[in-house]
Structure 1
Amino acid sequence: MSEALPHPEEARSPAIAVEAHAAVAPAPMMRVRHLWHRFGNRDVLRDVTFDVGAGEIFGFIGPNGAGKTTTIRVMATLLEPMAGRVEIDGIDVTIDPEAVRKMIGYMPDHAGVYDRITVREYLEFFADAFQVPAMSVVDAVLELTDLGKLQDRLVAEMSKGMKQRLQLARILLHDPKVLILDEPASDLDPRARIEIRDLLLELRGLGKTIFLSSHILTELSDVCTSIAILERGRLVVAGPINEIAARLEAMRAAQAYGHAQPPPGYAHPHAPHAAAGHAAQGHPQHPQHPQVAPPQPAVRRVKLRVLGNPEMAAYLLRGGPGIMDVSVVGGVVHVGYTGPETKIAEMINHLVHRNVGIVGVEPERNELERIFLEVTRGEVQ
């Protein structure tokens, strides 16, 4: 491995830190620490550090040239970093790449497939290459990826979406713990994207950890539990989406209060009489500062479709614990609330017990787009 690069303070990314969970939290499935890489005289990765928890669908986001594919190739043991460390389930990818390859399934962007064989022949070929002990695994993977009806079809006759599904089937043959997917929904039509999304959710339900790179933010917001955003090779932010959104909201609130100017004649609330006494004795008064209010919790939003009168549903929700605002737009009840997602279940339970039928619940999924636009500057390398 090349000599470690220096880590000058000015080169470190001004990442927004997300507080760690309790010390008893389980070890992450994927650990990236101070990762650097350079092509020629250009640093494409600069001191990148983040964790991916077991069982997560982790979204890896950034503009073209941000360093996403380079990071993924290091994780997949295809590229050695110039400095830093990447571990998969505690195993360093540069020290024992063979062990890492047995634990991961890697699907590159625009991966090619063998066209002149059938779907079953394709999977049996790779099952043999992976030294899978029983070919019955091919049947299991065909069923899981819903390719059983196409098993005798030539790969060349399949659509782009079906070929992407076949690629996912291929990397599942050796039952990896971790799936590393580089733009799996690239160039797919809307139906194929939905099918891939549903398959990823099913795989997560089977206990897989999924590291997913994509440019389609709305798609990621539907499936991801946590994210990392890169820009110009630096980590901008990483962590659970709801925690990042809450922290950004708190930062905005703190900045707003901290920069507020006190009104004329404002006295410090903790010692108004002492300040007046010092002034009377000829002592200079200390500069007065406004009291900084505590950061406000992030407001989350959900849309409820109800049977009957939506205005009545809105009336029943207004003023409830954690309910910040309620409005009716186009027959749909829009609710702003604070607290965990269990608050949605409480709202539904409250309405159902008052004979208001619920026919649709749609959390507003704009957090990821808002986070991306807020923490990035649109810069490319």
Structure 2
Amino acid sequence: IGTLMLMPRLSVLLLSVLPTPPGVPSRLALLQLRGAPGQAAVSLAAIVASVSLMVSMAIMVASFRISLDTWLERILPADVYVRASAAGDTAYMTVDDQARIAALPGVRRAEFLREQQLLLDPARPRVVLLARTIDATNLTRQLQLVSAQITPTPGAPPPVWVNEAMVDLYGYALGSVIEIPIAGKPTSFTVAGVWRDYARPQGAIAIERERYVALTGDRSATNAALWLATGIGVEQVSGAIEREIPGGTRLEIAAPGEIREFSLKAFDRTFAVTYALELAAVVIGLFGLSSSFGALVLSRRREFGMLRHIGMTRRQIGTMLATEGATVTGIGLVVGFGLGWLISLILVHVVNRQSFHWGMELSVPWAPLAGSALLVLALSTLTALASGRQAMGPPAVLAVKEDW
């Protein structure tokens, strides 16, 4: 709102630094805008409002999508993923099931994970405890850490790693000592790192599986990650699991590409409304430009008639109007892009964090934004030209008749 209120002053400043173009129609267009910057400010406000909304939403969505894609690539290093149940942690793979899966022909390496729900606060949803194989010396290849990694001092509680939501919701800061209920009793741990997690906004804690087994005696698993030998396909292993493992047909088996594709499609469906908002913003801006230019052109009919009397053709007047529209739109695009970028910083780093409790990297979709800017510039120029056609229609004599 503040930027829109400053548009008259901004338009004066920006119009004053533009070089005077060659050609009579273009020169008259710039002189007209400089002489009546307040009139241009009305059209500028419509363009700036729509473009800033389009840019801010585009940057926010692109940042989220690219961050999600990067995260999926980081957390899905295996060739095949097996899940006992999508509904919760009640279904699991027994120790024998795990041994059979690891011994299947073509399986080069297998890692198993136990997922369990923990109630830390009755007023909040349950958080997820992930008991998984963790290599503390190479943790960045297993979890997308967004903090430093610390090693508990001798005598300190053993390490766990929490996602960003745990920091925001429960205050589990890096290096703090926390208590979580495992096997029915509270156990102390040291927060050794904070990792990014777009799948569990309610909170998640990762613990070394060996330590979890030592505390609970539970060796079952809810998920498995399999690395395959060269030349072995996902279909071969999937078929072997269904044949060799009791209840194997009820296991969910997927390649990382399938998981990634499904996740990104779900993302695109969820944020499809933002694309509609961006389109609506551009359409509203064009309507605003058309209305304001149409009113201005009608009020300048005598001016056009006088220009016709002194020798300007309708084509030259049309060129003048098109130049005015392009100039106003160009300034609106510059201001709108700057304002939209500032708004996107708030959306990405403040609103997103407060709403979903995860961070993401800022990514600007330069190609789509450049294409959108060129499209808006072209449509705005045509809109300004079309708005002036009606005013240029009557003969020049009739346009100035009232002045005689």
Q: Same fold (TM over 0.5)?
A: no
User: Higher strand fraction: Structure 1 or Structure 2?
Assistant: 1
TM-score (structure 2 length as normaliser): 0.23
Rg bigger for which structure? 2
